[in-house]
Amino acid sequence: MASSEAPAGIKSLFNQYAENGVMTVENLRNFLVEIQKQENATVDDAQAIINSLHELKHLNIFHRKGLNLEGFFKYLFGDINPPIDPNRGVHHDMNDPMSHYYIFTGHNSYLTGNQLSSDCSDVPIINALKNGVRVIELDIWPNSTKDDVDVLHGRTLTTPVQLIKCLMSIKEHAFSVSEYPVVITLEDHLTPDLQAKVAQMINETFGDMLFFPGPEGLKEFPSPESLKKRVLISTKPPKEYLETKDISGEQNQMEEKPSAEAGPWGREFTFANSRTDDKEDLHEEEADEEKEDAEVDQKSQQITAPEYKRLIAIHAGKGKGGLSDWLKPDPDKVRRLSLSELELEKAAITHAKDIIRFTQQNLLRIYPKGIRFDSSNYNPLIGWMHGAQMVALNMQGYGRSLWVMHGMFRANGGCGYVRKPDILLKTGNEVFDPKAKLPVKTTLKVTVYMGEGWYYDFSQTHFDTYSPPDFYARVGIAGVPADTIMKKTKTLEDNWIPTWDEQFEFPLTVPELALLRIEVHEYDMSDKDDFGGQTCFPVSELRKGIRAVPLHSQKGEKFKSVKLLMRFEFI
């Protein structure tokens, strides 16, 4: 197995900056300033790079005056040269109201697999929190003996897990990777006596970590900075639900469907809860449930759990009327609205600017449509470009949507909160229109030099039984529709270390919402192409210059050795 060799473009740059085949500390500093665009780089920074390579002394990559070509190449392709600055940490202003941030949000956070028959567990909740997820969703139901509370996907074959187990795991892992607030959204299918039990459980588990808004509710959401290490509960207030209950049955049009957050005791009931047929989000099944709910309601009109209502920091609910009413901001209080991906798509056609206005003060949660039994996901950009903060994805639903989600939340130090672009916070006549044809603001130029590491991370017969793999790379943008595109390199046959040396240009009209997507596949003439790695980064966080880009598995786990050598420029 041959070791990788610097491609022609890298040799050319080395010769440009080196003297007699040696790159001195001063030469390297000039390279950092001019090519890597690290304007403040010092001789000490350059020396630190050379020092970091000292463990590779046995490779003969040093000269007494500096680095030879191989040493320079080792620096460029090394872990010390990533595409996002690992030391930058949280750098967005975190003092704005919570409604000004995208929040890393999970859907049915307790499911280990599909939506119909997988186990419910606290393990996926722990994994989500360890990956920086900040919004955990729990469906809460009476247990089989009606004296305790389980978490499960109702009216399906999913096996339950005790609510207390989930709460304890959230407490233990909530702030293991980020100090910023965790929101627990409850889809509540409980009787008032069990709601009271849940209130006690939550109070005893979280204690001082809980954020209480006070009896008058919130006129504006607090900032993530002010809510560090706090847990917030979000669901529909019970009393408010009973007061606004409308069981007249006039719910035929999309705008007057059963509330996505309606249920007998203020429970938040999304269409996702009884998914056996799409039917424009399950009108028929929901109608039966509304009837059941109404009967139970009449028996418990006077019973509420005040201590449960007091827990609710973020009030959820659609209210009466149709879409226009749902999206009307209330000057006296803020709330959370939930829409399915289908509802959002329809609403965006007629009410795009209203949605964005609503999300400037209020929270909007988007969740997968009912027929995604396999825990697949939708394109999160649809929600983000309309200002939706809580774009909820199935964290076990591996695929491009989730890769884009991981990419978005690599921003801002991976803290789970990313400040929305200013364009989505403009008011009056300047409200952003996602469909508008806008001028190009900048063009991202990407050079894909080469890749390596598959030889070490995959078995020698993984791609082809009898010959080395035939790799190609796909590079593109996930963003507003005008910016979204994927391009592809040539396929290099029979090569474990492909050197493509190709350039691509991506004109960007809304770079603030653009993510760079990268995939590698192995061409297979007779079957589906094999997957060879992927990653995604916010364009706004990319470090300019030549960088070593580590690739990840389909599940989002970083490969030990697989990476690409790429260059990023803005022209």
Q: Is 153 a catalytic residue?
A: yes
Q: Which of 91, 92, 100, 107 is catalytic?
A: 107
Three-state SS at 156: coil
Q: Distances in Å between the alpha carbon of 476 and those of 13, 253, 534, 542, 555? A: 25, 38, 12, 14, 20
Buried b (16+ CB within 10 A) or exposed e, 325-336: ebbeeeeeebbb
Q: Are 357 and 424 in contact (CB under 8 A)?
A: no
Report the alpha-carbon distance of residue 389 to residue 101 in Å, rounded.
6
Q: Distances in Å between the alpha carbon of 63 and those of 12, 22, 198? A: 19, 7, 68
Report the alpha-carbon distance of residue 105 to residue 365 in Å, rounded.
9
The token duo for 145 is 């003996």
Q: Is 521 a catalytic residue?
A: no
Report the alpha-carbon distance of residue 124 to residue 106 in Å, rounded.
10
Give the phi and the psi of residue 135 in degrees, each rounded to 5: -120, 120
Three-state SS at 163: helix
DSSP 209: G
Report the alpha-carbon distance of residue 185 to residue 141 in Å, rounded.
14
- Give me the residue label for tokens 């109201």: 97
- Mapping DSSP onto H, E and C, the string for 252-271 reads CCHHHCCCCCCCCCCCCCCH
The token duo for 104 is 């890393």
Q: Which of 153, 351, 386, 521 is catalytic?
A: 153
Residues 6+ apart with CB under 8 A from 332: 219
Active site residues: 107, 153
